[in-house]
Amino acid sequence: MTFRQNMQGAKLVVKALEAEGVDTVFGYPGGAIMPLYDALLGSRLRHVLVRHEQAAALAADAYGRVTGRPGVCLATSGPGATNLITGIANAAMDSVPMVAITGQVASPLMGTDAFQEVDIYGISMPLVKHSFLPRNVDDLPRVISEAFTIARSGRPGPVLIDLPKDIALQSTAEPLRWEPSRPDPMHRPEAKPLSQARDMIMRSRRPVLYVGGGIRIARACQELRAFANATGIPVVTTLQGIGAVSGNARLNLGMLGMHGTKAANYAVHDCDLLIAIGARFDDRVTGKLAEFAPEAKVIHIDGDPAEVGKLKAVDCSITGDIKVALNFLHVQPHINEWVETCLQNKIDYAWRYDAPGDFVYAPAFIRQLSNYAGDDTIIACDVGQHQMWVAQHYQFSTPEHHLSSGGLGTMGYGLPAAIGACLAKPEARVICVSGDGSIMMNIQELATIKRYSLPVKVVLFDNQRLGMVRQWQELFFQERYSEVDLSDNPDFAAVANAFGMPSMTVSNRLEVMPAIERLINDDGPLFVHVLIDPQANVWPLVPPGKCNAQMMEAKVI
């Protein structure tokens, strides 16, 4: 490799990020990371100053989901680094590519309990695909390249680079050429299991496609939809698989699992062949695992061999490039009677939106928003009842437009994710859907929206409760309500105004459509505070320890 003039380590990092095609980084400065922040001045990188390091990681997470490229976040040593951990874990659980760069105390001080020193390398080890602790400034270009390769290859995930301050300040020769990383290609599936799967599909009479977040990771929506159309097999999705087939597609039975549709859960329970594609048999999906698809043979198609057979025995395993597998499996099984049964269940158990009472009915609000928002809208969800209502009632056309913390269930995800999505895809409309519990976790990021004049919309469903916890205490803890009362909430509309965001409050059903019209038509940010029934629950619900065919429903009075 040919080199030219000397360059400081921090500047090498910035140059390497630019070579990787990075255009946006999220972060918060501090002592140990200060050399890198100095190197950002005059670079091509756009730095987004969040108001809490957790938000930097969560925004980078959303950026990675929307673009498919690693999101990048920066933080200083000590509390800055530990504040990234939740966002790193969130990316790990949902297989999102991310590169997190933390400052570290100078090498001679490491291990001395120096000011703001923590072993972030060790702390993060169970959560990341790989960690780097550079000890030589000459290693930095290679470290950055390898970090991006690892983050993007195979099953994507987060990678940590812990940068000692003295290494960032040292100088060395700059490489003459910067070579961007390339993800390792996925291997082609083997021919034998592909042929076996074709035969199993042709012999089946009650097959179901069980689709997870692996379709988003593989960017295989087009191939999945072609496969579903060619075979005519009904489709159910996980939370992370929503949007892999259009929400309006005839054969889409909806989300399965704990809060899945009755049509989806019954289809899986009664099927004779379960074709799992990019899914991991999560406990929220399967319910009682021993009774999940009890009569079915299982084909499991996944890019990660570690997932195949991990929780449920499979009859045919196909690992490698999901696109190649789906393109090979275009057959036409004789399943007309089964399809009609599934579609009739979809009609018989369709959602109803005529809930009694004067409160705004959140599912109806979400369905109306879905009807008017259009395909160019990204929904960034927080965690709780509103998250499940969005999953049930919003009709997504692509998984990249449904941002939701699945595996980790991170309250406070919504606002930072909306910021990351807005910067990743500025031409899209971005709406954060949150609850009065979740939004308080990262409400300070309203300041980030203001600083960068981002046109992020917020829909806040306010029941003055920690709604999902309250629902479980009602159903499974004899209505012994413990620490779920949020009736001392602030005036959220006034809070939004204090951050310079226009706001409105929706307290009755006549105000719903005017609010939705503003969400769709206003060019700038908007905060819509929606008051809902404190006793409203998410239905149906599969109780813990039960199979998915044993769903609880609302009592009809």
Closest CA to 252 of 209, 202, 292: 209
Question: One of 11, 15, 129, 165 is an active-site residue; which one?
Answer: 165
Structure tokens that stand for 169 in this block:
């300040």
| 400 catalytic per annotation | no
Closest CA to 498 of 441, 460, 449: 449
**C-beta separation of 496 from 530 below 8 A:** no
Measured distance CA(292)–CA(270) in Å, rounded:
10
* Phi and psi angles of residue 403, each rounded to the nearest 5 degrees, phi first: -100, 115
200: CB partners within 8 A, 6+ apart:
273, 297, 299, 315, 316
Question: One of 8, 20, 53, 312 is an active-site residue; which one?
Answer: 53
Total residues belonging to the chain:
557
| 387 catalytic per annotation | no
Residue type at position 148: F
Strands 273-277 vs 316-319: parallel, antiparallel or unpaired: unpaired
| 53 catalytic per annotation | yes
Question: One of 18, 34, 116, 504 is an active-site residue; which one?
Answer: 116
Closest CA to 397 of 358, 426, 428: 428
Measured distance CA(541)–CA(257) in Å, rounded:
8
Measured distance CA(316)–CA(332) in Å, rounded:
19
* Phi and psi angles of residue 183, each rounded to the nearest 5 degrees, phi first: -65, 145
| 116 catalytic per annotation | yes
Measured distance CA(128)–CA(120) in Å, rounded:
11
Structure tokens that stand for 495 in this block:
């809070």
| 288 catalytic per annotation | no
Q: Let me know the angle formed at the C-alpha of 172 by 167 and 178, rounded to the nearest 5 degrees.
A: 100
Question: One of 200, 258, 441, 468 is an active-site residue; which one?
Answer: 468
The neighbour count for residue 516, using CB atoms within 10 Å, is 20
Residue keyed to tokens 């960017």: 219
* Phi and psi angles of residue 513, each rounded to the nearest 5 degrees, phi first: -65, -40
Strands 3-8 vs 171-175: parallel, antiparallel or unpaired: antiparallel
Closest CA to 30 of 60, 72, 75: 75
Q: Which residues are catalytic?
A: 53, 115-116, 165, 468
